[in-house]
Amino acid sequence: MYLPALAKDLYKSQKEVEEIEKKLEQATAVAAQEELKNELRQANAELSQLRKIMEGRKEHSKASLHKPKNRFGL
């Protein structure tokens, strides 16, 4: 992914998380709070993923970590 585009996406994601957190602080209804918590969870997951990409990390699934590697191309 092109680095400036990735940085822009990261910035947008950070702002989205901040906006949802502010809405959550102001929400009084329990149903609205639960909905905002779900949105915040998703936004934080997206932000975390973008940060990992930005840092150059590669996330491995548990299945691929325990899968035996075929070293001889067979």
- Joined together, the tokens standing for residue 23 give 């809405």
- pTM, entire model: 0.69
- Joined together, the tokens standing for residue 52 give 């990992």
Structure confidence by residue, pLDDT tens digits, 5-54: 888 999 999 999 999 999 999 999 999 999 999 999 999 999 999 998 88
Q: Residue 69 has what pLDDT?
A: 62
Residue 62 scores a pLDDT above 50 = no
Residue 67 scores a pLDDT above 80 = no
Q: Element (H or E) spanning 17, and its range?
A: helix 3-26
Is 51 in contact with 38 (CB distance < 8 Å)? no
